[in-house]
Amino acid sequence: GAGVSQSPSNKVTEKGKDVELRCDPISGHTALYWYRQSLGQGLEFLIYFQGNSAPDKSGLPSDRFSAERTGGSVSTLTIQRTQQEDSAVYLCASRMDRSSGNTIYFGEGSWLTVV
Amino acid sequence: AQSVTQLDSHVSVSEGTPVLLRCNYSSSYSPSLFWYVQHPNKGLQLLLKYTSAATLVKGINGFEAEFKKSETSFHLTKPSAHMSDAAEYFCVVIPYGGSQGNLIFGKGTKLSVKP
């Protein structure tokens, strides 16, 4: 695709429900990242994929959070039993590969509100 | 350890005056450096990047940044601020070599532009 696409753009869910956030990276990009941005805060790293594997999951805040990537393309971030503190913008980004000079392209984010 | 420091969390300027947003990094080798801008309720957009070519890098919307290895700095400047520049700005370092899954983000600088 032309850019990184994320869905849903907005999600309001009840506390305790599970949510799935989807990221469609730019075609051909092997590296994919998930970040979380809480209101007025900087970016918090969640997880990084190279192809379908996730060499760095160190940022996932708890075992309620998981992510997968299939076919080296689409990625899904799943939050189980959502809590109010999960309310944030979840940003996905992709890069051509791990070469240091490659630009990182961001999606518009999925805005999650847990009520 | 590699790191990036944005020295000011908030900068306020008057329209038509110069903008300076400061970024210092710590990296064992020459990194790639990026500046991103985030307008309210939007994703991150690339302003400019340095990848070991010219040390003075020109970006979009009249912004530029100079890589100074001796000072380990990559400050963002613009000669004359416009109201539409009001946004949050992030400095990003991609270390050379090693694990590049975890891009290193600064905490962001919020730029306010007064009429």
DSSP string, B73-111: EEEEEESS--GGG-EEEEEEEE-SSS--SS-EE---EEE
Mean pLDDT of chain A, nearest integer: 91
How far apart (Å, rounded) are the C-alpha atoms in residues A49 and A77?
12
More confident residue, A102 or B97: A102
pLDDT for A1:
53
Report chain B residues touching chain A, CB-CB < 8 A.
31-32, 34, 36, 41-46, 49, 51-52, 90, 92, 94-97, 99-103, 105-108
pLDDT tens, position by position, B81-90: 999 999 999 9
Is the predicted pLDDT of residue B32 greater than 90, yes or no? no
Across the A/B interface, how many CB contacts are shorter than 8 Å?
61
- Across the interface, whether the CB atoms of B101 and A101 are under 8 A apart is answered no
**Partner residue facing B43 (CB), from A42, A91, A100:** A91
Query: B10-14 and B109-114 as β-strands: parallel, antiparallel, unpaired?
Result: parallel
What CA–CA distances, in Å, run from A112 to A8, A48, A108?
9, 20, 13
Mutate: best of B44, B92, B112, partner A, most A CBs <10 A: B44
pLDDT for B97:
59
User: Which residues of chain A neighbour B90 with C-beta distances below 8 Å?
Assistant: 42-43
Q: Which of A94, A73, A91, A92 is nearest to A31 (CA)?
A: A94
Is the predicted pLDDT of residue A48 greater than 60, yes or no? yes
- Across the interface, whether the CB atoms of B44 and A106 are under 8 A apart is answered yes
pLDDT tens, position by position, A60-101: 999 999 999 988 899 999 999 999 999 999 999 998 876 666
The predicted model gives B45-65 an average pLDDT of 91
Is the predicted pLDDT of residue B100 greater than 70, yes or no? no
Mutate: best of A38, A43, A57, partner B, most B CBs <10 A: A43
Give the gap in angstroms from C-alpha B33 to the nearest C-alpha of chain A: 8
The predicted model gives B70-88 an average pLDDT of 96
The predicted model gives A25-44 an average pLDDT of 88
Q: CA A86, A15, A42: angle at the middle one, nearest 5?
A: 10
Which residues numbered 27-66 in A keep a CB inside 8 Å of some CB on B? 31, 33, 42-43, 45, 48, 50, 55-56, 58-59
Whether A105 contacts chain B with CB within 8 A: yes
pLDDT for A57:
82
In degrees and rounded to multiples of 5, residue B109 shows phi and psi of: -125, 125
